[in-house]
Amino acid sequence: MNESLYIFLLTGVFSMSAALSVGAINKMPESDRSAWFAVKQNMVMMVVLGNLAALTLVGSLAYGFQTLHWSIPLSSMFITFPIVHQLLVVKLVGSTKALFLTIPATLASIAVLYTYWP
């Protein structure tokens, strides 16, 4: 039970943070973005990685609903994950740095979910 909860929480918070960071950067005016995002190919790659993060979040939620009580994944999706992203991740490092920190963690989350899926 505890292992399932930790796996769900870590994979979910990293995935949501990566997806929300990509969305925030995508909504920024082009003049406010860093030079790295000015290259169209880099921006397309970030959108693809954001979509992968969103799919990983869906997988994390499916894992949570399968292994935990239904109220834990549901409340985490709408309350815990967005609050952790906004209050901790964005306030500490900003959206751009948060993206570069959470994308590798999201890719690792895919492997963790695959390994520990019941």
Q: What pLDDT is recorded for position 48?
A: 97
Amino acid identity for residue 59 in this structure: G
Where residue 52 falls among pLDDT bands split at 50, 70, 90?
A: very high
Contacts of 10 (CB under 8 A, 6+ apart): 109, 112
**Residue range(s) defining the domain that contains residue 39:** 2-116
In the chain, how many domains are there?
Answer: 1
Where residue 4 falls among pLDDT bands split at 50, 70, 90?
A: very high
Pair of tokens at residue 101: 């920190």
pTM, two decimal places = 0.92
Over the stretch 98-109, which tens digit does the pLDDT of each residue have? 999 999 999 999
Pair of tokens at residue 114: 């695959």
Q: Look-up: residue for tokens 């009580």? A: 69
